Amino acid sequence: MKKTVLLIGLMLAGYLSFSQDNTSGTIVYEQTIKMEIKMEGEAAQFAAMMPKERKSAKVLYFNGHQSLYENKKATDQEDVTMQSGGATVMVRMADPENKVYTDIAGKKQIEMKEFMTRTFLIDRDISYSWKMTGNQKMIQEYPCQEATCTDGDKKVVAWFTPVIPVSTGPGKYGGLPGLILSVELDSGKNVTIIKTIDLSPVAKDKIVIPEKGKKVTNEEFDKIVEEKMKEMGGPAGGARGNAVFIRIQK
């Protein structure tokens, strides 16, 4: 028993030593969003033909002080063409050009976010009230711990690894004592999980503060989204996923 405990202790010490010497790297995540798209009028017949989920690649550049999260591809879109009778429906799914810059030490974020053809720069503090659940699991070769919080009306489930002691992660989520490798929202309808990790030094030009867009606070942006979605007759939450454009041709 003593030998087993000693072996585990040495393994953990090796992990911690390795992580402290590698607080810089590049992570590629895969985001999967399960879609519930409703169509009305002559397009309603195509609802059953629609893709049920959307996968896209994201990338996180980080060091011990800051990080940048963005689309892996400059343009990542998928066109689906469906025909029935004399009508053709083309559905174009594209990831908006969103970016999240995080000042880890200052606990600040600047998010560049597209909404209804407009681009905004959202300035916010990182202030998530994470609760540790005590659950643990391995993600790839990294031991992870589970933490949860609420973001508005949504429950957030994150898995982070203390092995890489950088307090950041995918999207706007961070503030944990380790790098977040997986985030789940909406009871599994929106899942982002690590695919590859490279703990090599990151070039300075990879982590740049976004400057494109109108500067607003988090509260101001939420109000803009809520008002616009009310005009369109839908809930504000419907605007927070990937953009879906529908064009009907005859």
pLDDT at 117 over 60: yes
Q: Which residue has the higher pLDDT, 90 or 143?
A: 143
Q: Which residue has the higher pLDDT, 113 or 35?
A: 113
**Mean pLDDT across 21-49:** 75
Contact 209, 110 (CB under 8 A): yes
Count of CB atoms within 10 A of residue 117's CB? Answer: 6
Q: What is the pTM of this model?
A: 0.78
37 vs 34, 47, 59, 235, CA distance in Å? 10, 7, 27, 13
Domain coordinates in residue numbering, the chain: 2-249
Could you identify the residue written with the tokens 């809520």? 226
- Predicted pLDDT of residue 200: 93
Model confidence at 73, pLDDT cuts 50, 70, 90, reads confident
Model confidence at 97, pLDDT cuts 50, 70, 90, reads confident
Model confidence at 177, pLDDT cuts 50, 70, 90, reads very high
